[in-house]
Amino acid sequence: MLKLPVPEAEYENVVLKPSEYQQDMVSSLADRAEAVRNRLVEPYQDNMRERYVTAINHEENVTKAVTDV
């Protein structure tokens, strides 16, 4: 295991108003999620859940890789 120096981090949360594009994107995602939940689309038409699960698994793998260093 490498014994590299770890710099101190200063975190700052900055709250911004979402842009019109971001609001439209979130609204679109909400519409898609509702259609999937109500079974108005087939899984081959919109694989939103599969992409979500893939993203979560990827995030967990990256977190594990970083903490194992």
In a domain, 56, yes or no: yes
Region 1-16 average pLDDT: 91
Note the pLDDT of residue 40.
86
Domain with 43 in it = 21-67
In a domain, 40, yes or no: yes
pLDDT tier, 62 (very low <50, low <70, confident <90, very high otherwise): low
DSSP3 helix / strand / coil % (the chain, rounded to 5): 55, 0, 45
The total number of structural domains that make up the chain: 1
In a domain, 63, yes or no: yes
In a domain, 50, yes or no: yes
> Which pTM value belongs to this model?
0.51
In a domain, 3, yes or no: no
In a domain, 13, yes or no: no
